[in-house]
Each structure stands twice: as structure tokens, then as C-alpha cells.
Amino acid sequence: MRIGFVSPYAWDVPGGVQAHIKDLALHYRSKGHEVSVIAPAVDESSISEDFVIPAGRPVAIPYNGAVARVLFGPVAASRVRQWISRGEFDVLHLHEPAIPSLSLLACSIAHGPMVGTFHAAAPRQKVAFAIAPLLEPIIEKLRARIAVSEFARETLRIHLETDAIVIPNGIDVLSFIDTSREKKSEAQLTVGFIGRFGEPRKGLNILLSAIPDVVAAVPNVRFLIAGPGEPLEAMQSVDPRFRSSVQFLGRIADDEKAEFFQSLDIYVAPNTGGESFGIILTEAMAARSAIIASDLPAFEAVLGNGKYGAIFPNGDSKALAAKMIELLRNKNAREALGSAAGQAAARFDWEEVGNQIMNVYLHAAGEGEKVSVESESRGLGKLFARGSDE
């Protein structure tokens, strides 16, 4: 099958949607399918995958508590049109087709077998209702809709009054399993975090606020903080007496995540909102980490309401500290949580998730029908196609 993926976000900026598209594309390529991806790129020379087509430089806009780097306008529309015309795709898979970026343009421009995946979970927003009448005729062109969680599905229902099948994000479970690792030493206990420091919703401040209580109770603990951001600025919120217990690692590559998780006794996800799934939790689960996460509905769903990881009240650093102390002092409890998480992670493996998505493709695809380009863009997509790429 010839599959075209459209990413709404900059390919060379780390993000869950881009990682999902990349891993799914690699999975299908390994199965013999032909895959092409079109995506914005801040620096086109940084793209190493030969199946990725850069569509232009994105602009940064605030979206759902974060900064999204998206791309629209006449130049982007022209590149998407040319890519679709050349691709002869059996199916076009558009990610986040309801936001102003490449997927919306592609949905407006193309005709034929198209599938949309909706990742975001967002509350009711007036602006969403204002533009919904313009989006609806475009989104209706999708032959199938996927939501990565029940919360993303509910967002779709609220904003666009349409439904979707729920298929979770996927991971390569085997890549996070280390069958040769030895038991960790109790002389040094380690707590880890991965996230962008500059986004308050990732909750790093909640974790840092909990550190004094944890170190006072468990002196042999250290905290490893990974991700892009300014460590010196983040460190200012830590009491100077406890800074020696904290180490900032900077951004870690995807192929370093497994080693990172396996070095931990506990992984903490203190996110405060804006999460529709929690891919980082599934990766920690696959690595058999003991997990503590905030009680966001999406996180509770991934963690089986506490069966595969401990839960604490969102934003409560004292409660987080108490959970960390409890688990750091109880090796058996950590190992039991990690074992349960590892077994539950199998349902997120690409072999399982990829098969579910392929079934959607087969349902959406017509008999020998190819994705084609419409002579005229529709509605909001037409408006964006006339905008600026600067």
C-alpha cells in the first residue's frame, strides 16, 4: 500500500505527534508498504529520513497550553498539492486536520481515501465553536476518524459534533526492554523526569517543589531531569541545600530513552493539563519503571486507574513527595508496579496498534481508488491557502 502521512507540526521539533507519525511510518515500511511524509521543518537540512518531504518553515502559535509550530499559506498549499499529485497514494493519513496547518490544507485540497487522527484534548473554547461551521465540510471529507484516547474523542465530539474510533498511540515495546540489566543498588535511588522545562503544564515545578521533603526522608536519592530548556533558570526554584541532589541532562535522543528509564527507580509525570494520552507513560511502562503520575484523566486511563502506576492529586507537590517517599522506601512495591506496567504495555506495541490502524485504512480505501487533488480548495482551507507563509 502507498501511504501518505501529513504532519501539522515541525518535523525537527520534538513532539508526540511527530514521534507517532515517524514510528508508524517506520513500522509500515518494515512491513513492505511505501510511505511518504510531508511536514513543516525549521531547518530542512536536519531531516535525516529519506521518506520525509519538507513543506517549508513553520510559524509558532500558542496552542493547548504549549507552542505549536505550524505551516499554512499559498506556498505550503502548493507544495502539498504537488506532493499529493505525485504520490498516487492509496490512503492519506492526516494528523490533527482541524488545526490551521498542513493537514487541514491537505484535507481541503485532496479527494478520496483519507483518514484523520485527532490527538488533542482541549476544553470547550469559543474560538473553536466560531470556526466549526467552516471546518465541518472539510472534516466531513474524511472517510474515517481516529482519536488517540477517549479524551481526544470527546474533544472531537464537543467541537465538531462528530465521532471517531479510539486507537492509542504506539511504541516499540521491545526497544524499552533490557533483559540483561542487573538489580539496582539500594545505596543510590533515582527519580527521573522528561519534559520541556519552559512549559508549565509539564509540571516540573511540582516535582522540584517536592524535592526537599523527599531528600529529607530519603537522603540517598537523586533526581535526573531530562528535556529541552534552561536548567539554571529551573534550578533557581530548588532550595540551595538540595541542589546537589538534582542533575539536569538536557535533551536526550529517542534511542537514549530506554537507558534513561532503566536507570531509574521511579519515573514521575507531574503534568498539570493539556494531555490527551501520555506516550511517555507507555514508554516508561514498557521499560518496567515504577511510575507516579498526576491524576489527569488521560494518565489515569493509561495507568489503569492506579494498577500500573501510582497516582497523586494534580498540582499537589506535598502529595507527590509522600508518594515518592512511600515507593522509595518499598522496593517490593516498586518492582510490583513495574512488573504490572510492563505486562500492560503490550497493548501499545506497534504490532497491535499498527494492525488496528491498517484495518481503518482498508475500510477507508476504495477499490483501486487513489487519492487525488480537487480543482478547488474548500472553506477554511481555501482561506488559509490564501494566507502568508512568512
Dump pLDDT digits (tens) for 237-285.
Answer: 888 999 999 999 998 988 899 999 999 999 999 999 888 898 999 999 9
155 and 245 together in one domain: no
63 and 208 together in one domain: no
Grid cell at residue 52 = 520525509
Three-state DSSP at 311 gives strand
The verdict on residue 308 lying in a domain is yes
Average pLDDT of the chain to the nearest whole number:
90
Domain count, the chain: 2
The verdict on residue 12 lying in a domain is yes
The verdict on residue 76 lying in a domain is yes
65: confidence class by pLDDT, cuts 50, 70, 90:
low
What pLDDT, in 10s, does the model give residues 8-54? 999 998 888 999 999 999 999 999 999 999 999 999 999 999 999 99
236 and 328 together in one domain: yes
353 and 343 together in one domain: no
For the domain that residue 108 is a member of, what is the CATH number? 3.40.50.2000
83 and 212 together in one domain: no
Intra-chain end-to-end CA distance of the chain, in Å = 35
Residue type, 197: F
pLDDT the model gives residue 389:
42
66 and 83 together in one domain: yes
Cβ atoms 24, 7 nearer than 8 A: no
The verdict on residue 273 lying in a domain is yes
366 and 288 together in one domain: no
The verdict on residue 390 lying in a domain is no
354 and 284 together in one domain: no
301 and 154 together in one domain: no
Nearest to 14 by CA among 67, 56, 93: 67
Torsion angle of C-alpha atoms 135, 136, 137, 140, degrees rounded to 10: 120
The verdict on residue 204 lying in a domain is yes
Sheet strands (E) in the chain: 2-6, 34-39, 52-54, 59-63, 66-70, 91-95, 110-111, 114-118, 144-147, 165-166, 189-194, 221-226, 246-250, 266-269, 290-294, 310-312, 372-373
Residue whose C-alpha cell is 473553536: 128
Distance between CA atoms of 61 and 69, rounded to whole angstroms? 6
CA 285 to chain centroid? 15
pLDDT the model gives residue 272:
94
53 and 103 together in one domain: yes
The verdict on residue 258 lying in a domain is yes
100 and 246 together in one domain: no
22 and 139 together in one domain: yes
What pLDDT, in 10s, does the model give residues 200-234? 999 999 999 999 999 999 999 999 999 988 888 88
Domain span holding position 142: 2-170+349-385
- pTM for the model: 0.86
Phi, psi of 296 (to 5 degrees): -65, 140
pLDDT the model gives residue 15:
85
Mean pLDDT (whole number) for 131-150: 86
Q: How many helices (H) and strands (E) does the chain have?
A: 14, 17
Backbone dihedral region for residue 56 (phi beyond 0: left; psi -120 to 50: alpha; all else: beta)? left
